[in-house]
């Protein structure tokens, strides 16, 4: 599927960049005239994109006329050998969606003020890329290295009487470590800093994720404050607990017990045994940066010349 990864490049906030992207639907049908085909932008993967803008030219367009225009356009795009159609619809223009659906379009995704529908015209199954499939939750295991105590909570709403590490869903654009630090502060009042990534859990058909998949990551954090002031809405209890006690108790979720054992191993024999370290690198094209987590490399491997 990787060959199709760049289909329909656009951002949450913006739209297509460049001149072409801004001039959809340049010509609405003249009153009484036979509607012309829809204006579409061809992409480098052989598909076409149509934007229904909220302009005067669509304000007076009825759904039946739109359906006829779309039908004519589909005939043309098929004749031209186009592989797929992307249809972007502002929320206030949603009256056109049923006409598209009746010609085979289905929702690809929607958020806030617009939806995107797609129709695969190529051979075989659709090779269009999926929308996001995972939510990411992050928990922070805040460990006081001076005494081996770790910060644990009991949820008010779920898994009562089971100790766990404070955490929650990441916000859009938020780095894993930042989510852990933020959630720990919100739930417990404890300030902390990111040290390492400890574990990743992948779970599918997650009931709390609208049936999507869930990626749940536990980080090791270092406490910067110690006075607990926990959120009563979210937590029933919050304590500093001995790592050995947390590793032994039956009153903990399975994953918490397991990570308590991992932390105990690290606490006793060195955190380098359990940590994935984070490092920031520049992305190739975008000018943005990414974070990469893996086992720490010894100096001799770290400083190889190609990484300069």
Smallest gap from residue 282 Cβ to a second copy (A)? 8
Specify whether 186 is catalytic. yes
Confirm if 10 and 49 have CB atoms less than 8 A apart.
no
Confirm if 136 and 103 have CB atoms less than 8 A apart.
no
Confirm if 246 and 149 have CB atoms less than 8 A apart.
no
For residue 143, what are its two tokens?
């460990």
The nearer residue to a second copy, 48 or 219, going by C-beta atoms, is 219
Smallest gap from residue 58 Cβ to a second copy (A)? 12
**Closest residue by Cα to residue 117 from 76, 168, 66:** 66
* Residue 214 burial (CB count, 10 A): 18
Confirm if 100 and 117 have CB atoms less than 8 A apart.
yes
Q: How far apart are CA 65 and CA 101, in angstroms?
A: 15
The nearer residue to a second copy, 27 or 193, going by C-beta atoms, is 193
Smallest gap from residue 29 Cβ to a second copy (A)? 21
The nearer residue to a second copy, 5 or 79, going by C-beta atoms, is 5
The nearer residue to a second copy, 8 or 28, going by C-beta atoms, is 8
C-alpha to C-alpha distances, 36 to 12, 54, 85, 293, nearest whole angstrom: 30, 18, 17, 53
Residue keyed to tokens 């001995």: 242
Backbone phi, psi, residue 259, to 5°? -70, -30
The nearer residue to a second copy, 76 or 206, going by C-beta atoms, is 206
The nearer residue to a second copy, 25 or 76, going by C-beta atoms, is 25
Confirm if 201 and 216 have CB atoms less than 8 A apart.
yes
Dihedral over Cα of 59, 65, 66, 69: its sign:
negative
Smallest gap from residue 148 Cβ to a second copy (A)? 15
Please identify which of the residues 63, 80, 186, 234 carries the catalytic annotation.
186
Smallest gap from residue 223 Cβ to a second copy (A)? 20
SS3 annotation, 17-86: CCCHHHCCCCCCCCCCCCCCCCCCEECCCCCEEEECCCCHHHHCCCHHHHHHHHHHHHHHHHHCCCCEEE
Smallest gap from residue 217 Cβ to a second copy (A)? 8
Q: Which residues are catalytic?
A: 186
């Amino acid at each position: 599927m990787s060959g199709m990864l760049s289909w329909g490049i656009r951002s949450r906030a913006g739209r297509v960049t460049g001149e072409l992207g801004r001039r959809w639907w340049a010509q609405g049908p003249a009153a009484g005239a036979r509607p012309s085909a829809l204006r579409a932008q061809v992409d480098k993967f052989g598909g076409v994109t149509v934007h229904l803008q909220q302009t005067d030219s669509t304000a007076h367009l009825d759904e039946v006329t739109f359906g006829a225009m779309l039908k004519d356009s589909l005939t043309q795009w098929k004749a031209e050998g186009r592989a797929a159609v992307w249809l972007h619809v502002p929320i206030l223009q949603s009256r056109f969606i049923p006409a598209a659906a009746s010609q085979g379009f289905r929702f690809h995704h929607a958020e806030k003020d617009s939806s995107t529908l797609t129709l695969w015209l190529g051979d075989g199954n659709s090779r269009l890329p999926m929308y996001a499939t995972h939510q990411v939750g992050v928990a922070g295991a805040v460990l006081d290295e001076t005494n081996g105590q770790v910060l644990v909570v009991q949820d008010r709403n779920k898994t009562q009487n089971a100790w766990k590490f404070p955490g929650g869903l990441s916000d859009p654009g938020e780095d894993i470590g930042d989510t852990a630090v933020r959630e720990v502060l919100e739930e417990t009042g404890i300030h902390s800093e990111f040290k390492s990534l400890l574990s990743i859990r992948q779970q599918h058909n997650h009931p709390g994720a609208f049936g999507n998949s869930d990626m749940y990551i536990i980080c090791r954090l270092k406490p910067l404050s110690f006075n607990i002031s926990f959120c009563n809405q979210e937590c029933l209890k919050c304590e500093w607990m001995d790592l050995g006690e947390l590793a032994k108790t039956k009153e903990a979720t399975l994953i918490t017990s397991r990570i308590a054992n991992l932390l105990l191993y690290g606490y006793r024999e060195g955190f380098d045994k359990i940590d994935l370290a984070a490092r920031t690198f520049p992305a190739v094209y975008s000018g943005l940066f990414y974070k990469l987590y893996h086992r720490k490399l010894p100096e001799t491997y770290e400083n190889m010349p190609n990484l300069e």
